[in-house]
Amino acid sequence: MLGNLLTNYEDVAAVILFVIGMGNLLLQSNLVKKIIGLDIMDSAVYLFLASKGYIEGGASPIYVDGIMDASYYINPIPAGLVLTGIVVSVSVSALMMALTICLYREYHTLNLDEIMLKLGKEEM
């Protein structure tokens, strides 16, 4: 059991990071910390994805030295997926930051609990 965890140490790290990120995203009341949590969570997924594409001892998949054999290189597809994923998460983070700015302008605080309190007063 422990041996499995040690050989798959990237996966273990990814899971731990994912849980930390998700906890921050869901539980933090500070909006900026929420966004940081989101980024940690996304990075954990990309770490997981990238580590799955790495083959021990493989070269980077760029065809320069004339070797056609696929087993010489690492798997490039996960890297491509990570790149796409990063683009997605950048746009999501940007959107969250824009939302945070809008909320700060409206309520002059970054604390979600205080915002909810002010919102409750508004509706009274």
Partner 1 sequence: MTLVQNFPFFCIILSMFSAIISFPMNHRWAMRVHLIMVTVVLALSLCVLGYTASTGESYTFMMGHFPAPWGNEIRIGVLEALMAVFFSLIMLLSVLGGLAHIGRELKNSRKNLFFILLDLLMSSLLALIYTNDLFTAYVFIEINTISACGLIMIKKEGRTYVSALRYMVMSLVGSSLFLIALTLLYTITGQLLMTPAKEALAELVAAGEYEVPILVIISLVTVGLGIKSGLYPFHTWIPDAYGYTTPSASAILSSLVSKGYLFLLIKIFYRVLDFEFVVSSQVVNLLFMLGILGMIMGSWLAIKTQNIRRMAAFSSVAQIGYIYMGIGLGTTAGVVAALFHIISHGAMKSLLFISISGLSEVSDDKSDFESLKGAGFRNKLAGVAYTVGAMSMIGMPLLTGFISKYLFASAATTALQGKMVIAWIALAISTILNTVYFMGSVLTIYHSVPAEQRKPHGMMPSRVESVGTVGLIALNVGLGVAATPVIQAIQTGLAIFG
Choice between 53 and 72, CB closer to partner 1: 53
Q: What is the DSSP string of 52-90?
A: HH--TTPBPS---S----GGGB--HHHHHHHHHHHHHHH
Q: Would you say 7 or 91 has its CB closer to partner 1?
A: 91
Strand partners, 59: 73
With binding defined as CB under 8 A, does residue 4 bind partner 1?
A: no
76 in Cβ contact with 50 (< 8 Å): no
Report yes or no: 45 and 77 within 8 Å, Cβ to Cβ.
Answer: no
Under the binding rule (CB under 8 A), the answer on residue 18 touching partner 1 is yes
**Which residue among 20, 36, 79, 96 contacts partner 1 (CB under 8 A)?**
96
As measured in angstroms, the least distance from the Cβ of 41 to partner 1 is 6
d(Cα 4, Cα 58) in Å, to the nearest integer?
22
Query: Tokens 């790149």 — which residue?
Result: 83
Q: In 3D, which of 53, 60, 59 has the Cα closest to residue 10? A: 53
Q: Which of 102, 108, 113, 114 binds partner 1 (CB under 8 A)?
A: 102
Question: Given the complex with partner 1, which of 59 and 77 has the nearer CB atom?
Answer: 77
Which residues of the chain form contacts with partner 1 (CB under 8 A)? 18, 22, 25-26, 31, 34, 38, 41-42, 45, 48-49, 52, 77-78, 81, 84-85, 88, 91-92, 95-96, 99, 102-103, 106-107, 112, 115-116, 118-119, 122
